[in-house]
Amino acid sequence: MDIGIIGGSGYTGGELLRLLSQHPEAKVMAVTSRSMKGQKVSNTHTHLRKIYDLIFEDLTPDEVASRSDIVFTAVPHGTAMQVVPALLDNGVKVIDLSADYRLKTDVFEKTYKMKHIDPRDAVYGIPELHPEVAEQKFIANPGCYPTGASLAAAPLADAGLIERVVFDSKSGISGAGAEPTLVSHYPNMAENIQAYKLTSHRHRAEIVQELTRLDSGLKSISFTPHVIPSVRGILTTAHIFVKKELNEEDVSEIYRDFYQDKPFIRLIQGIPMLGSVRGSNFCDIGFEIEKNSDRIVVISAIDNLVKGASGQAIQNMNLMFGLSETTGLWTPALAP
């Protein structure tokens, strides 16, 4: 597969390049960046020295498509909608890593406060929840927070057992992107945890979309994110209040059945940790039932740059081209 990447200078683009370098069926043919035009990719992504001899180019969508079988758009929100139509018109497959196509158009416009210039439907690319990605030419890759949250609660939502769910997610600083911000500035972040957008984070819309697709009667979904002094990873604590009493075997069976044959989901005994998934495409899930209560605490752990972004995009690509979804991704996490 010949690969094009539009917007390759950020963390997501760098992670795509890292993972694709080990993919046996993929060859990166074009990487674009207007600001880095003419510079070596490995000068920006220094971990890729001696891995790639590519130059950042400023190419039109038509030019990228002419070199590619599939194109990843790793660009800011509002930018993908400007290039996706031309890519699809050229007959290439597209995976968009921005938020432009994750939501229904009216929900997107309300959530992101911008007019959508290319309304179209796209399959939401969590493969564990949307096996239909295999038949698609265009995929909207999910947000990092919604990936961890949705996977944590999906089995109980699908069973119609959730009365209310409260998500508390903690993300590494890389989730803020490569451009420095007050959140990612070292003096503000070191030895600190910052909660932000306590009730209004844009990713809540994706979580609501996915869980209500599984259970249309689920009305109470809350989400609060935090940034922690870590580079990678998202640990999500889902406080799930259920409609009836469940024991440990009940919940284990629900999760085992739902995630049967899903290679990147690991159901574990105990509490998932970021160190066990960092650098990998795995999602670790564990739970505990509160005694004499209707609350089940479900924990999920993912790497926000891999399963929460670039790894999941490649997982989708594999399915779109009829490959095993683990191709090029079946690697362990980085040991502590």
One of 64, 144, 296, 319 is an active-site residue; which one?
144
How buried is 200 (Cβ within 10 angstroms: 0-12 exposed, 13-18 middle, 19+ buried)? Answer: exposed
CA–CA separation, 254 vs 159, rounded Å? 8
* Cα(162)–Cα(154) distance, integer angstroms: 10
Q: Are strands 283-289 and 295-302 parallel, antiparallel or unpaired?
A: antiparallel
3-state SS assignment for residue 126? coil
Q: Under the phi-then-psi rule, with left for phi > 0, alpha for psi from -120 to 50, and beta for the rest, what region is 129?
A: alpha
Q: H helices within the chain, ranges in order?
A: 11-20, 41-44, 61-66, 80-89, 105-112, 144-158, 186-189, 204-214, 248-258, 311-320
Task: Decide if 144 is catalytic.
Answer: yes
So which residues are the catalytic ones? 144
